Amino acid sequence: ILAKVYDFICSSKNRVFVFEQNQKERNPTWPVRSLKRVTTTRWSSHSTALNTILITWEALIDTLEDLHKSESSSDASTFIDYFQTERFLYTCFVFKRIFGLLDPLSKILQAIDTDLIIASEMIISKKNQLLKLRDEFDSIIFEVNEFIEVHSEENFTFTPLSQKLHRKRKRMPGEQASDEPTTDPLNNFKYHTFYIVIDIISNEIDKKFEIKTNNHKMPNDAFESISLIYPNFLNAELLKTEFMRLVNCFSDLEKTYHLPESLHKTYLISDDGDNNDLFTDSSIKDVLPNIYMLIKIGVALPVSSASTERSFSELKLIKTRLRSTMAEPRLEGLMRIACKQDISIDKENMI
């Protein structure tokens, strides 16, 4: 729905002008905002687009009503009916809370100099916060009721959640528990939308990042994928053997490398910089050659594909803007010049 309302408003400069004028009339001191495009390569665009809709909700409704009167647009009428429903508000505030939790994680994973340890810890932390959100549905109800109360004073009306009629199920002989469906529309939204959305996101986090309960168990397919990519440098079976050997003796190796400065005193010697020195300065290259090569490959590879996706996303935005502001013959001419740069052009004939 966010993408559809963006296409509807921003497809016409006149509609954009009406939307900006309604914002100035509603809130003269506020900055004029434009609706945001929702893109698949930018997770933060969903949050930005949703927040813009909520902030400019009054001006958006006024714009849709003006367009419905002037253009007799059925799409505008459909948007008005949907944006003034409690289902839309509950859905918006649920995803606003979810985006507020996951946006910091998304920014960390898209950073160029991502710290893998901090990122992995933040993934677990955000998942736990997401599961705690299951118990905070009452606060979302409060936010929705507050939104409705504020806008009801300005003669805005909202369609309540629809209540579905269910056929009463006949209890079989000997059956003790009743199996009647939920009739309250708010509880129905809570159980069939709110909980399901949180469970899907939580399961996707487990699936994407492979959160394990037993960190010491070696997976059956460990190191196989990277060994297939670099068969000349790595061997999967040797990697498993060397990795288990390194895990078992790492604490002793670390204590040997960092000798204590005094007796009868313990130190918490776990620092990423010290571990880097441990791998580079010690003779691990000769003892564990596959692990050493794996570390060299790992530090050379980018952490994520966010930079590449961001570049293609910017290219898509530039291409879309060129198409909307440039005539087709000129765009084709520029493309031909860019593709055929080796062809000499007679400037006199062109003039």
* Region for residue 264 given its phi and psi (left: phi exceeds 0; alpha: psi -120 to 50; beta: otherwise): left
The CB density around residue 215, as the number of other CB atoms within 10 Å, is 7
Across the range 48-60, mean pLDDT stands at 88
* Region for residue 68 given its phi and psi (left: phi exceeds 0; alpha: psi -120 to 50; beta: otherwise): alpha
Task: Report pLDDT for 267.
Answer: 44
Q: How many residues does the chain have?
A: 351
Whether the pLDDT of residue 199 is over 80: the answer is yes
Q: At which residue do the structure tokens 């010491």 appear?
A: 216
Least Cα distance to 89 among 141, 13, 31 occurs for: 141
What sign does the CA torsion over 322, 328, 334, 338 have?
A: positive
Least Cα distance to 122 among 44, 211, 204 occurs for: 211
Q: At which residue do the structure tokens 């955000």 appear?
A: 126
Question: Amino acid identity of 81?
Answer: D
Q: Band the pLDDT of 310: cuts 50, 70, 90.
A: low
Q: Band the pLDDT of 269: cuts 50, 70, 90.
A: very low
Q: Band the pLDDT of 10: cuts 50, 70, 90.
A: confident
pTM of the model: 0.60
The SS3 call for residue 191 is helix
Interior/surface letters 184-193, b for 16+ CB within 10 angstroms, e for the rest: eebebbbeee
Contacts of 248 (CB under 8 A, 6+ apart): none
pLDDT tens, position by position, 125-180: 888 888 888 888 899 999 988 988 888 877 788 888 877 666 666 666 666 655 55
- Asked if 63 and 20 touch (Cβ cutoff 8 Å), the reply is no
Burial of 207 (0-12, 13-18, 19+ CB in 10 A): exposed
Angle (deg, nearest 10), helices 2-10 and 57-71:
60
Q: Band the pLDDT of 273: cuts 50, 70, 90.
A: very low
pLDDT tens, position by position, 241-261: 877 777 776 666 666 555 555
Angle (deg, nearest 10), helices 272-281 and 236-257:
110
Domain borders along the chain are 2-163+183-209, 224-300, 306-350
pLDDT tens, position by position, 67-90: 888 877 788 888 888 888 889 899
